[in-house]
Amino acid sequence: MALIMLPFLLLFPLLYFIYKHKKSSNSTSNSNSPQLPPGPTPWPILGNIHHIKTMSHVTLYNLAKSYGPLMSLKLGTKRVIIASSSSFALQILKVNDRILSARDVPSAVPLTRSEIDQLSFWSDPWIDQWKNIRTKCRVELFSSKGLDSQARMWEEKVTEMVEYLRGKEGMVVDVEELVFVTIFNVFSNAYFSRDFLKLEEEFGGNEVRVFLRGIIEALLAFNVSEFIPVLGKFDFQGLRKKHKEMSIKMHSLWEPAVKERREKMESGNYSKQDFLDTLLEDGFNDVQINKLFEELFTAGIDTTTSTINRTIIELMNNPDSMNKLQHELDTEFNQELLSNCNLLQLSTNYYLQACVKETLRLHPPAPLLLPHRARETCQVMNYTIPQNAHVLVNVWAIGRDPSMWDEPLEYRPERFIDSSLDFKGNDFEFLPFSAGRRICPGLPMAAKIVPLVIGSLIRFFNWTRPPHGNDADVHEVLRATSNMIHPFQLIPTARK
């Protein structure tokens, strides 16, 4: 009986796709409507899925060479618009920001739309709860006052990293693991006033990193359900299941701390010390707390660590830049000065700042940013972006645009010396943290922590690759961050 019914079950989705395709074709062929951006001719039902093996920023960059800096694809029933130039990024993230700042939530997120609006940064920016959460994070974590209150803790965590490395002199060190544990503890102390990982436990961060990256991979995988909605409830690729499983494991890291703090608060035996206390005082329940911390860790940890690692890699591959940076740090901060001042001052060095910016230009941690959605139809220059279109900005392509950058594939920090270009969302040729309503809320924190860690690693140590080891490289794949092909292993030698 099941075999007899199978063809009929498959027929209904097929008829649905044909109907949606004809309806879309009829609406876009209306001569009174401004045209869609150019793009490859779609097949019936599947659209342009055959043109892209993955929604990679590199694939989209290559397609844009043929179809232009504002391109349209049809993936199943979904219209996707991709901007690959600073001028169109300006139109999307500033001129039409109100209309195009809605969020297209990945179907892997195991929440209903109403739950998303109450719990998640994925909600739309006109939702009151989204405004409330974002304001709370900005005031408590990312304001000047909030960052100043964390500065001493950052220095302590970085000093622990430096001292750990002194004990590993001449030995092979997994730098990626080292940086991950350090940054994770920086975040966990800002949120919970405690370390969750230990540097002394080799590979102790690997399991946590698997959880965190599992969530990211589930969110950004090429999910057929997003482009053929009738398949959504079946979760054929298991991405919603994977997201849920990884989330539960992530939550288990901090749930005991939340329970302990809630009990102290109820007994009256506590004093406010961190962001968790703020949430508890404001009446956040455990579900809200878990989802908020999941998103804060997911958005912040991997992007921060990957930027640090890639900067070290670029400096290793460009010894002139490495030598210049060490010379600048030595000149500005001698050993006596460093012992008598805040370590955080390292991060203010102008050439170090230029090295970080150059890494972000070549390797933005979110190459396509996160997907936007058009809340209503709008016109961008001479093209139409239809309502509910999926909108992407390829900041990876913009950072390599030869009309914007001299020798764009070369790592040249000097291009940012005496330049007013910054990553704060006002310069649309340089958008590693996005712009407008959806600009990364943690930008002020990242701008201080990333150079602090890099400056400490470069100021206090020389680095060499292990004998017969593979050169580290950056693997550009579709993720919120980019993985490195080989384990990032180096040998530290303390600088005298």
* pLDDT, tens digit (0-9, with 9 covering 90-100), for 5-48: 333 344 445 545 554 544 444 444 444 556 999 999 999 888 99
* Predicted local confidence at residue 272, as pLDDT: 80
* pLDDT, tens digit (0-9, with 9 covering 90-100), for 415-449: 999 999 999 999 999 999 999 999 999 999 999 99
Pick the CATH number of 34-103+112-494 from 3.40.50.280, 3.30.2010.30, 3.40.50.10540, 1.10.630.10: 1.10.630.10
Q: What is the mean pLDDT of the chain?
A: 87
Q: Predicted confidence band at 474 (pLDDT cuts at 50, 70, 90)?
A: low
* pLDDT, tens digit (0-9, with 9 covering 90-100), for 48-80: 988 886 778 999 999 999 999 999 999 999 999
* Predicted local confidence at residue 476, as pLDDT: 45
Decide if pLDDT at 81 tops 90. Answer: yes
Lowest mean pLDDT among 191-205, 409-423, 473-487: 473-487
Known binding-site residue numbers: 440
Known binding-site residue numbers for heme: 440
Decide if pLDDT at 158 tops 90. Answer: yes
* pLDDT, tens digit (0-9, with 9 covering 90-100), for 246-272: 999 999 999 999 999 999 988 887 788
* Predicted local confidence at residue 449, as pLDDT: 96
- The ranges assigned to domains in the chain are 34-103+112-494
Lowest mean pLDDT among 172-186, 210-224, 346-360: 210-224
> With contact defined as beta carbons under 8 Å apart, do 194 and 233 qualify?
no
Residues of the chain with pLDDT > 90, as a percent, come to: 66
Decide if pLDDT at 308 tops 60. Answer: yes
